Structure 1
Amino acid sequence: MMTRLGYVKPQHGWRKSENHLTAGQYQAVGLDMQGISPDQLQSLQSDLEGVQSKLEAEDFSGLTRHDLTGAILQSGIQGYLAETYAMDRIAGRGARVAASAHR
């Protein structure tokens, strides 16, 4: 099976990616659109803690593939973006440059 993803960059036109998938494989896509809010990060952390509690209690009822794999990938992507936004603001202050406001 193959997926084809694409998005438009106004200055450069379409950027496309083709990926061959194996049965049972999990694919995650992360887009940096408007930044990550503290509420989003808190919600994601709460979800991950809930999954961890269920796993530790060996209660697997209701857990999905996204709970076990996707949420971990999502937290990595969103955590990385939140960190780069914070570093951008810190570097901007030090250089007295206005950094874009991400929420």
Structure 2
Amino acid sequence: MWAALGGAIVFEVFATMSLRASEGFRKRAWIAPVILGYLASFYLLWLTLAMGMPVGVAYGIWTACGVALVALIARGVFREPLTLMMVLGIALIVAGVLTIEMAGAAH
């Protein structure tokens, strides 16, 4: 279950970075990686849910990790800004997801 979710996160980040690299699909070579990456990501997210992970937990982790990784990778690869306020926002997202995870585990 966790491996499927991890794979979903990796493919979603890959697809999003490919989308950025495509420059609005002007670089057509990136279209296939975008489509295949998102398809693989959604399949693995579906698989995660089918294995029994609650949707709130799976989606929260998927999106939070995606946001954090995309921001960090975009900083390194595309030299996009990553301000202290953005880092704080990412930290708050991660804290929120952890809160949801702990609340779900308590039940």
Same fold by TM-score greater than 0.5: no
TM-score w.r.t. the length of structure 2 is: 0.37
The structure with more radius of gyration: 1
TM-score w.r.t. the length of structure 1 is: 0.38
Please state which structure has a larger fraction of its residues in strand. Answer: 1
Please state which structure has a larger fraction of its residues in helix. Answer: 2
